[in-house]
């Protein structure tokens, strides 16, 4: 297997900021192509995308084979799948709709081995992809695999500091569309609304204060630049469907058709 980029946990600990891609299609070759295009890591979406657990395992292998790192978003409340994805070699898992400290504690319990959590042992594929021994994986996994809680409701905002304070939670991820809907009481889906931007900045600042990482979905390159300027440590840019569509449109336009 070709050498992989450094572990995400090590890069974040070193102070790096990372631009990631977003994968919604259940085809490993698409994910592999996105890594080869220049993304160091990809978020693979099992919540709203077409990816299931079986295709996710193949996508993780494709990402790692291409030299990238894999972040997986699980469906709402499907914490058992978080453990399965870690066993398949995921570097991080994003859990949507984490609203309370109790939600975050449950998520962390499936993500971390004792004493931080109660993750069950069985990381066969993860050990293979790590290139090390089972014992080396066991002793390093709690620090090298990241549990990231999504903050996308007003309740989650109210509980932000408590969620960030949990030892088993490594960071938070902003769902800007849902959070902007919540802040406007359903009136607007606008990630650039002043009230939404203020909330995003508050989340980034709170994560930094807690010594945790903060990520966000960026709808376009300019939005990604603003998010990094706000202090977010990683941003996911658009999606695989967007890359294919925009590339096709640009090629067609270049032909003059």
Q: What is the pLDDT of residue 1?
A: 46
Residue 201 counted as domain residue:
yes
Q: What is the pLDDT of residue 257?
A: 84
Residue 126 counted as domain residue:
yes
Q: Which residues contact 41 (CB under 8 A, 6 or more apart)?
A: 5, 8, 18, 20, 21, 63, 68, 69, 70, 71, 91, 234
Q: By CB neighbour count within 10 A (0-12 exposed, 13-18 middle, 19+ buried), where does 92 fall?
A: buried
Q: What is the pLDDT of residue 185?
A: 95
How many domains does the chain fold into? 1
pTM of the model: 0.97
Q: What is the pLDDT of residue 4?
A: 63
H or E element, residue 21: strand 18-23
CATH number at residue 37: 3.20.20.60
Residue 2 counted as domain residue:
no
Q: How confident is the model at residue 3 (pLDDT cuts 50, 70, 90)?
A: low
Answer yes or no: is pLDDT of 58 > 60: yes
Q: By CB neighbour count within 10 A (0-12 exposed, 13-18 middle, 19+ buried), where does 106 fall?
A: middle
- Give the total residue count for the chain: 257
Residue 71 counted as domain residue:
yes
Mean pLDDT, the chain, integer: 96
Residue 55 counted as domain residue:
yes
The torsion defined by the Cα of 140, 96, 179 and 227, in degrees rounded to 10, comes to 30
pLDDT digits (tens, 9 = 90+) for 77-120: 999 999 999 999 999 999 999 999 999 999 999 999 999 999 99
| Segment 38-42 mean pLDDT | 96
d(CA 52, CA 32): 17
Residue 91 counted as domain residue:
yes
pLDDT digits (tens, 9 = 90+) for 144-198: 999 999 999 999 999 999 999 999 999 999 999 999 999 999 999 999 999 999 9
Residue 1 counted as domain residue:
no
Active site residue 48: yes
Say which of 48, 209, 225, 249 is annotated catalytic.
Answer: 48
Peptide bond into 115 cis (omega under 30): yes
H or E element, residue 88: none
Domain that holds residue 149: 8-255
């Amino acid at each position: 297997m070709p050498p992989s980029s450094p572990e995400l946990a090590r890069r974040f600990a070193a102070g790096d900021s990372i631009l990631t891609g977003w994968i919604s299609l259940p085809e490993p070759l698409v994910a592999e192509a996105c890594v080869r295009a220049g993304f160091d890591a990809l978020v693979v979406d099992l919540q709203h995308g077409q990816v299931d657990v079986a295709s996710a395992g193949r996508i993780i292998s494709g990402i790692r084979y291409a030299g990238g790192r894999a972040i997986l978003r699980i469906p709402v409340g499907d914490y058992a799948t978080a453990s399965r994805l870690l066993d398949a070699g995921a570097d991080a898992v994003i859990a949507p709709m984490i609203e309370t400290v109790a939600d975050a504690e449950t998520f962390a319990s499936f993500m971390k081995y004792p004493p931080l959590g109660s993750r069950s042992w069985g990381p066969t594929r993860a050990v293979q992809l790590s290139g090390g021994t089972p014992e080396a994986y066991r002793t390093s996994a709690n620090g090298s695999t990241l549990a990231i809680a999504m903050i996308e409701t007003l309740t989650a905002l109210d509980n932000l500091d408590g969620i960030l304070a949990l030892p088993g939670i490594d960071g938070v991820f902003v769902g800007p569309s849902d959070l902007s809907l919540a802040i406007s009481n359903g009136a607007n889906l606008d990630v650039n609304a002043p009230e939404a931007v203020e909330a995003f900045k508050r989340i980034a600042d709170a994560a930094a204060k807690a010594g945790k990482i903060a990520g966000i979905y960026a709808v376009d390159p300019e939005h990604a630049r603003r998010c990094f300027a706000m202090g977010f440590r990683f941003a996911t840019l658009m999606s695989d469907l967007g890359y294919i569509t925009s590339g096709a449109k640009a090629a067609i336009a270049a032909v003059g058709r």
